[in-house]
Amino acid sequence: LTPAPISLQDAQAAVKARCAPLESETVKTSEAAGRVLARDFVAPSSMPAFANSAMDGFALRAADSADASPATPAALRLIGESRAGRPFDGTLPAQGAIRISTGASMPDGADCVLRVENSVVSGDELRLEKALQAGNDVRPAGDDIAAGQTTIASGTPLGSGELALANALGAQELEVVRRPLVGLITTGDEVVPPGEPLQPGQIYDSNSAMLRALIDEHGGELQAVRPRVADSLQSVTEALEATLPDADVVVLCGGVSMGEHDHVKPALQTVGAQQVFWQVALRPGHPTWFGTHERADGRTQLIFGLPGNPVSAWVTFQLFVAPALRLLRGIEREPLRLNATYSGDELKKRAGFAQVLRCRLTGGGDELQAELTSENQRSHALSSLVGADALMFLPPETERLQNGERVATEALRQ
Ligand code: AMP
Ligand code: MG
């Protein structure tokens, strides 16, 4: 007799409870894209570092323009220029003005900028027909960031915007969370790599490439791939023994069901892995195994035994491995959960297990719609993965879903 399968929620909670951010390391800012900040990034200086012009035009003293009107324009004398990277040397005298470019330093004495399109210049005379306020079109020093301010919080993934900020503040290195080392083992006597001729009953290996891509997409560092390991206790055990010494996470695929040729569970037992759960009240993904292994140095490794059906493997990776990688990488933010309107033919399912379907989200707000990627959502139907940008969740008690009903979804690949 096998115990009742664990619920999807409990299974996900059991994984999360065993995940904590890995230690940090220092990397060059130029190599930090996609990494997660391990320590608050504190601005070493304020930004902008000096007051500068927001526009191409003329820097002047607002007081000199106080009486300017179309009938009585103010006339100022142009005495120099401040260009980007080449500031004006000196103090602006009363009744003076200098040409200034966007981003160029405001000269001492000047307190506002007249836009080039609002000016009339003849020779070295600048005329303006309107009074300006002090501060007009000036970016004051420190108006974006104050020195000592936390500008990127620890736990933030470093994307283009964060990297721009770090570079603008002159950071050459950043402290980021170490990437999880992931070992991948796929099993199956029947799978052969593309490029080799297929013998009767053989199929091409889709899972190895799929899981490599998923590990990569989710910020894992592939430590080793042992593809197409033979369906024998000895082969799977050897693959595990070779993978375990270095990995933070081991992903096995296939051979985890109840068949006579499924050797993953006994192999895991042989190497001393501790089962946390096996079998989830979930379709696809029922045979999923999850557990831990104590490394010689005391570190706890996470082990995922995913079903071999490619769609089951893809879905269970998204449900269990991806959240684990996120937490190990230091990301606390959860993926976006969105309620959408189901658009499609009526779906029927049996009660008692959660069903996870592959869908595409279209529209937005109240009009957000979820459409299945393909009608065939069975666990071998790879067509259902093409173009999938979200998962759609049918809870265990649901027995049917009709066009127009609200449904819970989770966006992928953010
Ligand atoms: P298993 O979980 O090993 O019983 O495999 C379940 C189904 O997934 C079978 O139809 C296998 O042929 C298929 N399968 C297992 N591994 C792979 C793989 N690497 N690529 C494609 N299909 C696979
Ligand atoms: Mg198999």
> 146-192: per-residue pLDDT in tens?
999 999 999 999 999 999 999 999 999 999 999 999 999 999 999 99
Ligand 1 centroid – CA 179 distance (Å): 29
The pLDDT score that the predictor gives to residue 283 is: 97
- Ligand index nearest the alpha carbon of residue 212: 1
What is the greatest pairwise CA distance in the chain? Answer: 98
* b/e 228-247 (16+ beta carbons within 10 angstroms → b): bbebeeebbbbbbeebbeeb
Is 329:359 a contact under the CB 8 Å cutoff? Answer: no
| pLDDT for 414 | 56
Q: Is the CB of 291 under 6 A from ligand 1?
A: no
Closest residue CA from atom 15 of ligand 1: 308
Distance 383 CA to ligand 2 centre (A): 21
Going by C-alpha positions, the residue among 61, 62, 64, 105 that lies closest to residue 81 is 105
Residue 214 near residue 314 (C-beta atoms within 8 A): yes
- Taking 70 as the pLDDT cut, the residues of the chain under it are 1-2, 413-414
284 pocket-lining for ligand 1 (C-beta < 6 Å): no
Both tokens of residue 97? Answer: 């003005």
Does the C-beta of 325 come closer than 6 Å to ligand 1? no
**For residue 283, what are the β-bridge partners?**
355
- The position carrying tokens 């067509």 is 383
* Cα gap 94→224, rounded to integer Å: 71
Our mutation pick for probing the ligand 1 site, out of 184, 187, 189, 191, counting the most ligand atoms within 8 A of Cβ, is: 191
| pLDDT recorded at residue 3 | 77
Q: 109 with 91: CB under 8 angstroms?
A: yes
Give the pLDDT score at 1.
60
